[in-house]
Amino acid sequence: MTLYHFGNCVALVYVPYYLTYKYSGLSEYGAFWKCVQAGGIYVFTQLCKMLVLATFFPASDVGGQDVIAEFLKASVEVADLCGMYAVLAGIPGKGHAKVLTAGIGWAGADVLLTRLLLLWVGARGAEFDWTYIRASLDSNISLVRHLTSAVLVWLWSRHDLKRSLLPAVSALLLLCAYQLPLCDGIAATANVGPWMALLVRAVSTLCLAAAALWFYAGLAGANT
């Protein structure tokens, strides 16, 4: 039962990433090492974020929450967009291939570093725990979120993007950067359970993804 639970969680986490890479056409482009390079930039970006947080926002023993301090901590997430921009700038090729390579590489590094050890240590326990099923489902939401970020960063970097659309794309980018803190804040304020908090993340991610896809389809249609 323990091995089955661990295998089920691992499959739930990593199989969608494999299927996305295989059936999106990236395997035909030989983009595996480009995805690895994107993962390397992800690791470097996370190290920079940890350094900034440890330097400017050290842990405090004072009780309560400082809203401004929490907002500034959440602002560090904007570094992910900068890292994604660097990934896209270093990938040659067509727009859809660049977006998929950057998004899957970034998301793959994220899920590898944040889920593998968690599942190895926790999901092999003697008792079944829904916590690891939720973490596995959240990894699939993260895949959509990172692909959405890649699409929006690519759109924002396009020179042929209409000026009237630039504010909307920029607003969506900021929402992507602050999505997780906002969702966690909403869940904490509403005092909902972990499954409802996961649903809030999923719904907000799907809304952002739908908006990004609409802008991407509009730009692709304008260029044809």
pLDDT, one tens digit per residue, over 160-219 is: 777 778 888 999 999 998 888 888 888 888 888 889 999 999 999 999 999 999 988 877
d(CA 140, CA 86): 24
- pTM of the full structure: 0.89
**153 pLDDT above the threshold of 90:** yes
- Residues 33-77 have pLDDT tens digits of 889 999 999 999 999 988 888 887 766 555 445 556 667 777 888
Lowest mean pLDDT among 23-27, 54-58, 130-134, 194-198: 54-58
